[in-house]
Amino acid sequence: MSAAPGHAAEAVAAAAERRWAIAVLLIIASLVAMMVITGLHWAAMPPSRVETIDPRTLHVSGEFAEGNLGTTMTPDGKVVVRLVAQQYSFEPQCLVVPAGVPVTFRGTASDVIHGFVVGRTNANTMLVPGFVATFTTTFPEPGEQLMPCHEYCGTGHEAMWAHVQVLPREEFLSRAARAERLSCVPR
């Protein structure tokens, strides 16, 4: 056994370790760069398709004026629910939606951050002043659901609830045919 082959093997191993160390450092550096770039990008501008709205003029005119709130059917048969959250209630306080039909929610807040979840369904969003929150979901079963505010919004947060009536499809359609806007707020 001479010393030379051993030294050669050590040199090969050291070179291989250096190569892998450089590769790992490059991977880490590119991951950190991705985090920094995406973080700066998100901080600098909202994600695309975000809708903004002036919370100071919500009630006066436009999509979220009082007469526009509640459930409506568009001419092409889509069901849209519009609502506004404020300390400490939702407007309207009782929503009507059909079962088994996609329902699009459009909501915003007029003062601070609120949010809601409908019973045990996946209807769940934050409502941030200045932005329109929107999502589409389908309620599988008719029934009565509770809709609590789930973002701490002040001393009255615990008492901030709305109700959701999920109606059988036919019943909803016949009511929607008779009224332009539906809600179950007692009059």
CB of 88 to ligand CUA, least distance (A): 6
CB of 112 to ligand CUA, least distance (A): 7
State how far the Cα of 58 lies from the Cα of 52, in Å rounded to an integer: 11
Which of 142/148 has CB closer to ligand CUA? 148
Helix and strand numbers (H, E) in the chain are 2, 11
Largest Cα separation within the chain, whole Å, is 101
CB of 91 to ligand CUA, least distance (A): 12
Which of 157/181 has CB closer to ligand CUA? 157
Half-sphere exposure of 120 (CA within 13 A, CB side): 4
Q: Rule CB under 6 A: which residues touch ligand CUA?
A: 85, 88, 114, 149, 151-153, 157, 160
Which of 58/176 has CB closer to ligand CUA? 58
Helical spans, DSSP H, in 45-104: none
Structure tokens at 21: 């160390």
CB of 129 to ligand CUA, least distance (A): 12
Would you mind telling me the total number of residues written for the chain in this entry? 187
Which of 73/109 has CB closer to ligand CUA? 109
Q: What is the dihedral of CA 19, 20, 22, 26, to 10 degrees?
A: 140
CB of 151 to ligand CUA, least distance (A): 5
State how far the Cα of 126 lies from the Cα of 80, in Å rounded to an integer: 17
Which of 96/128 has CB closer to ligand CUA? 128
Residue position matching structure tokens 């709130």: 69
